[in-house]
Structure 1
Amino acid sequence: MSRDFKISRRGFMGGTAGATLIALHPFSARAAGAQAHLRIMETTDLHVHVYPYDYYSDKPIDTVGLSRTASIIEEIRAEATNSMLVDNGDFLQGNPMGDYMAYERGMKEGDMHPVITAMNTVGFDASTLGNHEFNYGLDFLMKSLAGAEFPVVCANVVSEMGGSPRDDKTLLKPYVILDREVTDGNGETHVVKVGLIGFVPPQIMTWDRRHLEGNVEARDIVTTAEAWVPQMREEGADLIIALSHSGIGSAQREDGMENASVPLAEVDGIDALMTGHSHLVFPSPTYADFVGLDAEAGTIHGKPAVMGGFWGSHLGVIDLLLEKDGNEWRVLSAETEARPISKRNEDRSVTALVEDVPAVLASVEAEHQATLEYVRRAVGETAAPLHSYFALVADDPSVQIVSNAQLWYIEQMMQGTEYEGLPIISAAAPFKAGGRGGPEYYTDVPVGPVAIKNVADLYLYPNTVRAVKVTGAEVKGWLERSAGMFNQITPGEPDQVLLNPDFPSYNFDVIDGVTYKIDLSKPSMFDSDGAEVSEGGRIVDLMFEGAPVTDDMEFIVATNNYRAGGGGSFPGANPENIIFEGPDTNRDVIVRYIVDKGTIDPKADANWTFASMEGTTVLFDTGPAATAYADAVEGVTIEPAGDGPDGFARFRITL
């Protein structure tokens, strides 16, 4: 099919043509001579969401999609005399279209990746890499980037390490300086040299160790910026924009920070920051209490910054009023915002605020249809519903099937090895459990056929299977780390909030093969970063085959490469303890397991529960569709408790 689809071309676009009903931004309308308004727009964490479509539930949705975000881009370009568009990484992986390209169709030399095709169609000026760009390996990444009609930069991923960052041979160009013509308030044109430099969390070396070890290394973000930004100035950059695929976190600088955008903003010479990685929105009240930020004005250490949500949910916008002083340009004033493509109504429904750009849909229509065929293939049957509505508060069928499949696989892999005969247990966490994904962000597979789309729904990420050898003490520590999911509860008081909103569901590992209880009256042993902050712990009655687990016992834990490589900072889960690295993804193992069994019946076995507390109730929020399953949850007493915020439903547990 033809790929000759283009919407408003990239670059600094005039704001009045074809947009007579759209008012210019005040910076454009009021700019004086030698002053120019530059609008910089950001997408981030697209994760292959081009179509407004949920491939897991196999239906259109209004909350995602570059095809929707593109319409805002056209409108916002028209509001500004001069504009440019950047992407902040995590575009290659994250939904079944990404997996279809990686595992089914593949990328040969000269092939076009659909998300790159869509980005070319929209007209990006530049992009950086996100951590998920490395999930499918370096060869797949480089073949995908070859089709980009825009530069992709990344300063801290190094193929040959030098004595300092400026001596490195980087995997991609560390930065690019784009010459752009801008129109000032008098209608005169000037050339502005815009420098764009990109960064990715150095944790990629842990998360994708199998692809990266021995091939590249990753430097600290801030150290790298301190080296390259002065060189960009030396080369004539008038303005430097950091494309920081790194979240907004602590203001305290530490080496190797994952979420380094706050200390990054302190680097002299950086004028503005585009951020991402955290799947959040900035400016927003979410960051009201963070040190170094103005969450209302959208600044970090006084510099304009933005984070444009995820999956195309928002477009980040930074408006800069530039003034020419001699031969140099400086930022006179700035404004930031994140514009959404949809809104959630009081009745939990979603209203689309924009429509699709047809050219963007058309550019990847063939791959969209191929992805639908890919995800609709049946691989077996389930005799029990697979849902994750209660995965954070009770043993759960959607986690059970993952654990069962991992256990089945690792038991085979250990046969004939020195580890044969050691007890094997399995750790798995719920990935789709509401939270930032919203009240529809849950797994829900009814009784009947199980298709590939259902397996992708059960296991979102293209992780590969690992096994680690741990002690009984480390098993307990592993579970203590997971128990950080819960707030400390006061015995005898009603309706306390159960879940810690800052604890990600993918770090709530349930370990099958042992039984245990969680005593919520005790504080968490670990803080959000995995540092031990209290003694004693919450895990009680930890048993294996009916006998207490002792500290010196040995176990094999079936898990994934992210966890085994140290992701989440779990006791015992580290590269030194890895005894098996599987070539197969966890998803593929689940598919094989279902095919092998024909019909699965992964009913939760309630191997973990909360310790009882007389006279105590707790509240938690989940998807409204959970009501249909509440009576069947094993190990806890659950009842409806009204409406929660933002479209969620509230439930009560009696401890």
Structure 2
Amino acid sequence: MLRTFSYRLLASILVLNASFSNVVHTMPTANHHQITLRIMTTSDVHGQMLNYDYYSSSEVAEQGLVKTATLISQARQEQPFNLLIENGDLIQGSAFADYAVAEFPVTKATHPIIQALNYLQYDVANLGNHEFNFGLDYLAATYRDSNFPVVASNLELLPSAPAALREKLVKIAWIQRSVPQPGEGPSIPLTIAVIGVMPPQIMQWDQHHLNEKVNVAAMLTATEERVQRARAEGADVVILAAHTGMPKSTDNPDDSEQTGWLLAGVPGIDALLLGHQHEVFPGTSVYNRLSGVDSENGRVRGVPAVQPGIYGSHLGIVDLELHYGQKTGWQVTTARSEARAVEPSTAIDSKLAERLQSAHDATLAFMQQPIGSTTQPLSYKTARWQPSSAVQFVQRAQLWQARQLITASAVEELPLLSAAAPFDAAFSSSDSATEISAGPLTRGAIGDLYRYPNTLDIVKLNGAQIKDWLEQSAAAFVAASESSPLLDCWRYLNSEVAHYNFDTLLGLDYHIDITAEPGQRIKDVRYAGKTVSNTDRFYVATNNYRANGGGDFPHLDGEATILRGADMLSDVLLNYLGSLPQGVYSEELQLHWQVIGCGGRI
């Protein structure tokens, strides 16, 4: 693949595996030379190719690779000496990606997402955990036609793995560039090594696809080995594309899944590309308790680092100033990190959009296909003051996946609860809300029920902690001085509490007494007919946003999490529906919580 730069830089990509012998250079005569190498990265695009929401049938102002593509073009014009790296979770997580899995003939034709990356001239792709969701054969077919190497430095393919995947993956992606000198001197070679790692937890999350086919080494161990080898084999610049983040809201950096802080300490890394957590770095404060993290300038333990959000919302940029000396070779002198945002005013790349049009049209038709049915309406309308069929559909789907995770992990047996909140409820009878009629369910309807890119976490709490959780949810009501008719409950809803912060816990029976003082509103909490004591222990299935501190609920800061799922919860809902007999949801609504103060028992 050739790319012509404004000052006639010839770039050729040399892709080799980890056994690549030392790079031989023709030594230039220049004593000194300086350039800027711009490293651009996307991560966690999750199949969001277009700036379009297939669930709400509307355009999205600040997402979509067709918009990120415009930022890529602009960034290339600013710094013609550049490379573009995709950092994982690319082919899963959207209606567009679901269509490709279900209906696109990927064994015969180039996957539309890979078509897009080829058009944008990506230089390297790293794999994320969600690349493995559909099995190794699908993974191999998807990346078969990529015009760029696919790096997987901590993945070992066993003999039973597809041969096509073995032919495609590399341990180190080598990029050989020639840097022209001013005047008539010979070009100066620049050798770049890109190392890519992913969470080893894929062996748990996708064990049914991966057992006896692959092994995954710890990210830190593999990175140390590959960086040392890359330097020994002649790398002038080493870039680590790590599909991982860093521990949030803690000063403890030790985490086998979110390993970014530890990876930054590996000697020899010039730039660190992060992902997996959907955060924007530099720019977020969630890592500030970790020592050596500069969230304003994008440094982790002195290493320039970037994480570009989700769905193409940002383009990650790391600029390395490189100085060449005959005796020292190439050296990084300074660096700058930026997460450049897609704005509502950012234009789309119309040529890319045209290339994706046929797949977009097919996705629109795909979304209208029935995937199951429900015997009762699923509504969030009144979910702020009475049990909701839509919330319970989500809760039951969470229970379904949580039981699988618990069984696979062989943890101790405890009662299992499920916490969820309404996403599109109402504060008054005139407000609109998500309401799905009984009958056929489409993919669009499922997406309307769950609009956020959350995954499932399971937390372990005692009875006192769970009551604290429910007390905070009870802040969703303003105080009532006396009991009122049920139809007047609307006026006691606290509009300052977002719908998604009103959790209810399926598996418990309890009352919310809004005539009581805040902090003393949760009454008569029972499990299986017995009063819950402060020392009783439970598992609670919830989303990763809540489990990791979202909403500032007590005892939920990530420390209580014992298991994590890998699938987006919208996909969990789809899979749960598919697991039911004939794909029919027929569970009756459980009236397991009641509000005292606006009508008494529901």
TM-score (norm 1): 0.65
User: Is the CA contact (8 Å cut-off) linking 2:474 and 2:522 kept in structure 1?
Assistant: no
Match of 2:577 in 1: 590
Query: 1:120: Cα distance to partner?
Result: 0.9
Query: 1:397: Cα distance to partner?
Result: 3.7
Match of 1:416 in 2: none
* Partner SS, residue 141 of structure 1: helix
1:452 equivalent among 443, 446, 469:
443
Query: 1:280: Cα distance to partner?
Result: 1.5
Count of residue pairs brought into register by the alignment: 522
1:514 equivalent among 488, 508, 513:
508
User: Is the CA contact (8 Å cut-off) linking 1:406 and 1:590 kept in structure 2?
Assistant: no
* Partner SS, residue 243 of structure 1: strand
Match of 2:332 in 1: 331
Match of 2:319 in 1: 319
Match of 1:23 in 2: none
Match of 1:607 in 2: 592
Distance 1:456 1:446, change over 3 A: closer
Distance 1:597 1:310, change over 3 A: closer
Query: 1:555: Cα distance to partner?
Result: 11
* Partner SS, residue 34 of structure 1: strand
* Partner SS, residue 360 of structure 1: helix
Distance 1:179 1:488, change over 3 A: farther
Query: 1:65: Cα distance to partner?
Result: 0.9
1:174 equivalent among 155, 171, 176:
171
Distance 1:148 1:34, change over 3 A: same
Match of 1:164 in 2: none
1:377 equivalent among 369, 372, 380:
369
Match of 1:61 in 2: 60
Cα distance in 2 for partners of 1:517, 1:105 equals: 50
Cα distance in 2 for partners of 1:281, 1:410 equals: 29
Paired letter, 1:230: Q
Match of 1:96 in 2: 95
Cα distance in 1 for partners of 2:202, 2:381 equals: 28
Alignment of 1:177-576 (within 5 A): 177-183=174-180, 189-249=187-247, 257-287=256-286, 289-290=288-289, 291-326=291-326, 328-342=329-343, 352-378=344-370, 379-380=372-373, 384=377, 386-387=379-380, 395-403=387-395, 427=418, 429=420, 444-447=434-437, 450-458=441-449, 480=466, 483=469, 511-516=505-510, 541-544=524-527, 546-548=529-531
User: Is the CA contact (8 Å cut-off) linking 1:45 and 1:311 kept in structure 2?
Assistant: yes
Match of 1:147 in 2: 145
Distance 1:433 1:274, change over 3 A: farther
Cα distance in 1 for partners of 2:280, 2:368 equals: 33
Distance 1:97 1:485, change over 3 A: farther
Distance 1:474 1:130, change over 3 A: closer
Match of 1:125 in 2: 123
User: Is the CA contact (8 Å cut-off) linking 2:401 and 2:572 kept in structure 1?
Assistant: no
Paired letter, 1:329: W
Paired letter, 2:80: T
Query: 1:609: Cα distance to partner?
Result: 6.8
Query: 1:464: Cα distance to partner?
Result: 13
* Partner SS, residue 227 of structure 1: helix
Deviation sequence 1:66-108 (CA, Å, 0-9, x none): 1111111111101113111111111010011222222344642
User: Is the CA contact (8 Å cut-off) linking 2:144 and 2:168 kept in structure 1?
Assistant: no
Match of 2:13 in 1: none
Paired letter, 1:336: S
Query: 1:486: Cα distance to partner?
Result: 5.1
Task: State which drifts further: 215-224 or 315-324.
Answer: 215-224
Deviation sequence 1:217-269 (CA, Å, 0-9, x none): 32222222111101000111000011011113369776652221122111100
Cα distance in 1 for partners of 2:495, 2:467 equals: 19
Distance 1:478 1:53, change over 3 A: farther
Distance 1:246 1:38, change over 3 A: same
* Partner SS, residue 76 of structure 2: helix
Cα distance in 1 for partners of 2:169, 2:351 equals: 29
Paired letter, 1:266: G
Deviation sequence 1:166-219 (CA, Å, 0-9, x none): xxx999322212101234566964221011001112222222232223332322
* Partner SS, residue 170 of structure 2: coil
Deviation sequence 1:307-339 (CA, Å, 0-9, x none): 111101111111111100226211111112111
Task: State which drifts further: 423-432 or 303-312.
Answer: 423-432
Paired letter, 2:434: D
User: Is the CA contact (8 Å cut-off) linking 2:308 and 2:314 kept in structure 1?
Assistant: yes
User: Is the CA contact (8 Å cut-off) linking 2:383 and 2:391 kept in structure 1?
Assistant: no
Distance 1:229 1:545, change over 3 A: closer
Cα distance in 2 for partners of 1:106, 1:443 equals: 37
Cα distance in 2 for partners of 1:540, 1:213 equals: 47
Cα distance in 1 for partners of 2:312, 2:184 equals: 34
Distance 1:308 1:390, change over 3 A: farther
Distance 1:428 1:369, change over 3 A: farther
Query: 1:509: Cα distance to partner?
Result: 8.5
* Partner SS, residue 223 of structure 1: helix
Paired letter, 1:374: F
User: Is the CA contact (8 Å cut-off) linking 2:415 and 2:537 kept in structure 1?
Assistant: no
Percent identity, aligned pairs only? 31
Match of 2:28 in 1: none
Distance 1:423 1:337, change over 3 A: closer
1:158 equivalent among 156, 159, 180:
156
Query: 1:425: Cα distance to partner?
Result: 7.3
Paired letter, 1:515: D
Paired letter, 1:444: T
User: Is the CA contact (8 Å cut-off) linking 1:12 and 1:180 kept in structure 2?
Assistant: no
Cα distance in 1 for partners of 2:67, 2:244 equals: 24
User: Is the CA contact (8 Å cut-off) linking 2:125 and 2:150 kept in structure 1?
Assistant: yes
Task: State which drifts further: 357-366 or 547-556.
Answer: 547-556
User: Is the CA contact (8 Å cut-off) linking 2:470 and 2:503 kept in structure 1?
Assistant: no
Match of 1:563 in 2: none
Cα distance in 2 for partners of 1:194, 1:33 equals: 19
User: Is the CA contact (8 Å cut-off) linking 2:198 and 2:219 kept in structure 1?
Assistant: yes
* Partner SS, residue 262 of structure 1: helix
Paired letter, 2:363: T
User: Is the CA contact (8 Å cut-off) linking 2:194 and 2:239 kept in structure 1?
Assistant: yes
Paired letter, 1:333: T
Paired letter, 2:342: I
Cα distance in 2 for partners of 1:208, 1:377 equals: 27
Paired letter, 1:386: S
Distance 1:573 1:232, change over 3 A: closer
Distance 1:595 1:485, change over 3 A: farther
Task: State which drifts further: 51-60 or 451-460.
Answer: 451-460
Cα distance in 2 for partners of 1:328, 1:80 equals: 22
User: Is the CA contact (8 Å cut-off) linking 1:10 and 1:125 kept in structure 2?
Assistant: no
Paired letter, 2:117: M
- Which blocks of at least 5 consecutive residues in structure 2 are unaligned? 10-30, 160-165, 404-412, 426-431, 481-492, 544-557, 566-570
* Partner SS, residue 91 of structure 1: coil
Paired letter, 1:158: E
Cα distance in 2 for partners of 1:266, 1:67 equals: 35
Query: 1:283: Cα distance to partner?
Result: 1.2
